[in-house]
Amino acid sequence: MAMSTHLSKISHNAAIILLLTTGLVVVLAGTEISGKPNIIIIMADDLGFDDVSFRGSNNFLTPNIDALAYSGVILNNLYTAPMCTPSRAALLTGKYPINTGMQHYVIVNDQPWGLPLNETTMADIFRGNGYRTSLIGKWHLGMSQRNYTPTLRGFDYHLGYLGAYVDYYNQSYEQVSKGYRGHDFRENLKPNHEHVDKYVTDILTDAAVREIDDHAAKNNSKPLFLLLNHLAPHAANDADPMQAPADELSGFEYIRDETHRYYAAMVSRLDKSVGHVVDALARQDMLQNSILLFLSDNGGPTLGEHATTASNYPLRGQKNSPWEGGIRSSAAIWSTEFERLGSVWKQQIYIGDLLPTLAAAAGISPDPDLRLDGLNLWSALKYGYESVEREIVHVIDEEAPEPHLAYTRGKWKVVSGTTNSGRYDGWLGERVTTEVDPRSQEYEALIQNTSVWLQLQKVSGGERNISGLRQQARIECPATTEDEHTPCLPLEAPCLFDIEADPCEQNNLYEEYKNTTVFQDLWQRVQQFTAQAHPPNNKPGDPSCNPAFYHNEWTWWQDETPSNSAFSLKNSIFLILLLNSWWIF
């Protein structure tokens, strides 16, 4: 039953108005459920914008993610940072990476830095307001000191890895350039080897299901904040980057390219994870008082480092670029609070907005002294408003070999500079239209037979125009010729786009607007952010990190004493270097 229908039966007294403004009334078929909602966030790693089939691609299908999207609200303009460490920092702090020193590249496993310890995380805030907080999966916000790690940054429980990525089966991370290799998988603060040889997507899914089951059995007096950070579909170590179970691969034999076939299977296993999580919430009668969000941390890599054949088509660029393909995430959110379930929300929303927005849903007001950059968009999301003009600093990286930035205010986007000498500046990853998932012939029936669709329909009901929503969620870019638009050369001059009319960034309007207040005001604001930016926290690699010194475990090496055998090896290497230096002199 819609919120407005239910409230029409209730007198509009001050108490009800107060409850509505703090987001504490959840309506289920005419029944009020009090208390803070459970919040479950499922984050994919390096998933391309076009790699969920609710965007319209039939190359391979994601029926469970699609069912969540059509049942809830498709977030058509959710923006992230272009790489995973900055993006995850923005999610957990509600701040732009330039304001926390997290803006430059990512944390490589051997580097001794992390999210500053004086930053309050989303987990800190929710735990401080009565939530049980759990992180399943990837961290990637620092590991050189124990104090950087999840259970000392607000999470009651963590099962997963601390660094950038791991092998899907043995949970090892190899830093080939330095010759380092070690196991990186822990339960809270202890190395965990019991899952070796099991597929990591399944490990993390099972752990999330256990958390939901255990919460219902033991901790139901508290609401649950669960962040499920998947490895999928990020590439694994360079020697064997694409990994998927044989039973999953068998469904994609129609895809000729082996790498892309593996990628489709990796995404498919991720899609099934969403189904298992929704099933667990339904089984424990938690769905009706839960907010469920799915997103990716950034765009997918079609080319270059850790390339997987991910597609952000028809958006321009990819991961680690300032273009829409690097910073625009395919996302969907569901809650019985929403008045417009089964809709496409076009409001611009930044990943840093999720902290204050979800906090507002739980009736939590973050301390103003935190000085969040994120906006509380809960009311706009709840009622379907799309009129908030959002200013977003996507990236300002002055320390890169090629300084670059991307900034949006309203419909205007400024890009200056780029990455990788412009290698990622084009329109990448267009689908091979002849390779079509056989299930697409009965697409709507496929969606309606998923457990996600069936479980969410039980709770929220309502008609859904699946074909109409799928069409609305597509990004259409008109075919143009060179004569019909002005190219952008971001290494020569800034570029300006009307991102509403031109989401594919085909027509550079800089020459037309460069002397007007439109561009001058935007550029002045960019310069202000640049001047006030926190210096990057990045530090060079530290050879003391070598897992060989710590029983072949990636660990917080600045807090650890090396094992005896490893310590002897380390000293032997030092002695050899010393003797060589003496011989030279």
Average pLDDT value over all residues in the chain? 90
**Residue 247: exposed, middle, or buried by beta-carbon count in 10 A (0-12, 13-18, 19+)?**
exposed
11 and 134 assigned to the same domain: no
- What confidence category does residue 431 fall into, taking pLDDT thresholds of 50, 70 and 90? confident
Report the CATH number that the domain containing residue 113 is assigned in CATH: 3.40.720.10
The encoded tokens of residue 240 equal 């064997």
135 and 237 share a domain? yes
Is the residue at 504 inside a domain? Answer: no
Q: 8: pLDDT confidence band, cut at 50, 70 and 90?
A: very low
Host H or E run for residue 329 = strand 328-334
Query: Is 516 domain-assigned?
Result: no
User: Is residue 178 located within the same domain as residue 87?
Assistant: yes
Strand pairing report for 73-79 and 328-334? antiparallel
In a domain, 517, yes or no: no
Tell me if 357 sits within 8 A of 377, measured CB to CB. Answer: yes
Same domain, 22 and 156: no
User: Do residue 350 and residue 278 come from a single domain?
Assistant: yes
Enter the DSSP assignment of 553. B
**What percent of the chain stands above pLDDT 70?**
89
One domain for residues 22 and 98 = no
115 Cβ contact list (under 8 Å, min separation 6): 89, 92, 93, 100, 102, 121, 141, 142, 148, 153
Q: What's the average model confidence in pLDDT over 464-486?
A: 85
Reply yes or no on whether the pLDDT at 30 is more than 90.
no
Number of Cβ atoms within 10 Å of the Cβ of 463:
5
Report which of residues 528 and 23 the model is more confident about. 528
Say whether both 24 and 155 belong to one domain.
no
Between CA 309 and CA 207 the distance in angstroms is 28
Report the share of the chain in percent with pLDDT over 90.
84
Of 144-153, 390-399, 470-479, which has the strongest mean pLDDT? 144-153
Closest CA to 509 of 518, 491, 497: 497
Alpha helices per DSSP H over 34-113: 63-71, 84-93
Residue found under tokens 């219902």: 216
Q: Report yes or no on 524 lying in a domain.
A: no
Residue 451 and residue 362 share a domain:
yes
453 and 563 both lie in a single domain: no
Percent helix, strand and coil across the chain, each to the nearest 5: 35, 15, 50
How large is the average pLDDT for residues 307-325? 96
Average pLDDT over residues 36-43: 97
In-domain check, residue 499:
no
CB-count exposure of residue 170 (10 Å: 0-12, 13-18, 19+): middle
Judge whether 300 and 318 are in contact, CB under 8 Å.
yes
Label residue 25 by pLDDT band (50, 70, 90). Answer: very low
Residues 582, 585: Cα–Cα separation, whole Å: 5
Is the pLDDT reported for residue 31 higher than 50?
no
Are 63 and 159 contained in the same domain? yes
> Does residue 514 belong to any structural domain of this protein?
no
Whole-model pTM: value is 0.90
Q: Which strand (E) or helix (H) includes residue 294?
A: strand 290-296
User: What is the domain extent for residue 8?
Assistant: 1-34
Q: Is residue 574 part of a domain?
A: yes
The number of folded domains in the chain is 3
Band of pLDDT at residue 430, cut at 50, 70 and 90? confident
Residues 467 and 554 in one domain: no
pLDDT at 561: 81
Angle at 345 between CA 454 and CA 123, to 5 degrees: 80
Say how many C-beta atoms besides its own lie within 10 A of residue 196's C-beta.
14
pLDDT for the residue numbered 483: 65
Do 229 and 90 fall within a single domain? yes
Q: Which of these ranges, 229-243, 271-285, 387-401, 402-416, has the smallest mean pLDDT?
A: 387-401
